[in-house]
Amino acid sequence: MVSSFNGSQFIKKSVVSCKSFCEVNGSLFTRGQFRGYSSAKVPEDKPVFTEDELKNARKDRLENLGPFVSKLPQKWIPYAELMRLEKPVGTWLLYLPGTWAITMAAIQTSASLGATVWMLGLFGLGSLVMRGAGCTINDIWDKNLDDKVIRSVERPIASKRVSTKNASIFLVAQTVVGMGVLAQLPAQCWWMGLASLPIVFTYPLFKRFTYYPQIALSACFNWAALLGFPAMGIMDWSTMLPLYTGSFLWCMIYDTIYAHQDKAFDVKAGIKSTALAWGKNTKKISTVLATAQFSLFTIAGINAGLILGPGFIGGLAIFAYRVFTMIKNVDLNNPADCWKYFTSNIKTGLYFSYALFFDYLLTLLGFL
């Protein structure tokens, strides 16, 4: 019996059985299990989506183009999709930390209303353009991964509606516009703005070799929390650093929730994320991160002299309530619920922006 045992055939069958189990129970994958499967070096066939799945993906894409993108000339639409103009949530989340920094700095420097609004507008344009550039970079790097996830199979490059060459040319154009926006800021902002570009251009690579690509994303996505201060003529590191670090932790939380949408597909495609690394501990870890986030925001408020402002106190309380409620209530095994709570962060951040701007107006009027 020993001589007739085919060890390699047994191992092959065992690995295939394990793979089948894990595909059905993707949400149960732990980091160790995923690494074990990866090290087995089993050839991963490209998933073949059914015609109905592809048809529904195409239908969803067309239905969600929105009132602006859908009215663009047909040749422009794929490039608008490269920038994710039809999905502004990323632009808002990139923009919001900058609004906090600009408004806090405006309060500290008693900046004029015109100068503050102008800078908020510049950062808004910069967020739109650079978020678009970041998404284009992501799609170029991920062109052979996006077609393995049903949610991204209709992206312009993955669906062959835009070539890699044309996407690269479009990326250069967006980067030039972004540099033009940066040039409108004070000279002391230039080196700080340029310092973020290496992370922006390499972020998509992190998901290939680490379970923590969210660290790279959070590092560059909240850069405006630093940039907003020198943009208003002040370099207050005692406020800038805790505000940036707290914003970083906020991004780690909401982007991990975002990553839980695709965890079953990510396992098959070999994509890594904190959703897979943290698994069932996501809520516990996120609660710890949120506690640190609001402690850091409180330190930023104290150092900036804003801690007694009614807007800061009320806004931070609303911010904390919404984040902790999100962590408690989100169903991490329900992609639709993950998306709902992920997008809710726009309102969460905007409430804090409005609250800080309220304190700024009180300062201008001499009440603070």
Give residue 305's region: left, alpha or beta (phi > 0; psi -120 to 50): left
Architecture of the structural domain at 51-365: Orthogonal Bundle (1.10)
Q: How confident is the model at residue 47 (pLDDT cuts 50, 70, 90)?
A: low
Secondary structure class of 368 (helix, strand, coil) = coil
Residue 170 token pair: 């479009």
Separation of alpha carbons 305 and 363, rounded Å: 12
Secondary structure class of 267 (helix, strand, coil) = helix
Q: Is the dihedral of CA 153, 259, 84, 345 positive or negative?
A: positive
Separation of alpha carbons 324 and 293, rounded Å: 11
With CA atoms as reference, report the closest residue to 61 among 69, 72, 73.
69
Q: For 315-361, write each residue's pLDDT tens digit.
A: 999 999 999 999 999 999 999 999 999 999 999 999 999 999 999 99
Higher pLDDT, 22 or 48: 48
pLDDT of residue 166: 96
Residue 109 token pair: 């420097």
Q: Is the dihedral of CA 77, 78, 83, 89 positive or negative?
A: positive
Q: What is the residue type of 175?
A: T
Q: Residue 169 in contact with residue 238, Cβ under 8 Å?
A: no
Taking the model in full, what pTM does it have? 0.84
Q: For 255-311, write each residue's pLDDT tens digit.
A: 999 999 989 888 877 889 999 999 999 999 999 999 999 999 999 999 999 999 999
Q: Residue 252 in contact with residue 288, Cβ under 8 Å?
A: no
Of how many residues is the chain composed? 368
Q: Residue 261 in contact with residue 338, Cβ under 8 Å?
A: yes
Secondary structure (DSSP) of 184-253: TS-GGGHHHHHHTHHHHHHHHHHHHH-S-HHHHHHHHHTTHHHHHHHHTT---HHHHHHHHHHHHHHHHH
With CA atoms as reference, report the closest residue to 290 among 241, 340, 256, 331.
256
- Which of 17-21, 144-148, 149-153, 347-351 reaches the highest mean pLDDT? 347-351
Q: Is the dihedral of CA 344, 78, 259, 316 positive or negative?
A: negative
pLDDT of residue 51: 82
Residue 194 token pair: 């340029």
* Lowest-confidence region among 122-131, 163-172, 189-198, 263-272: 263-272
Separation of alpha carbons 97 and 225, rounded Å: 5
Q: How confident is the model at residue 189 (pLDDT cuts 50, 70, 90)?
A: very high
* 234-271 exposure pattern, b = at least 16 Cβ within 10 A, e = fewer: bebeebbbbbbbbbbbbbbbbbbbbbbbbbbbbbbbeb
Which residue stretches of the chain are H helix? 7-24, 31-39, 51-63, 66-69, 77-82, 89-109, 113-141, 164-183, 190-195, 197-209, 213-221, 224-231, 237-259, 263-269, 274-278, 282-304, 310-329, 335-364
Is the pLDDT assigned to residue 6 strictly greater than 80? no
Q: Residue 101 in contact with residue 227, Cβ under 8 Å?
A: yes
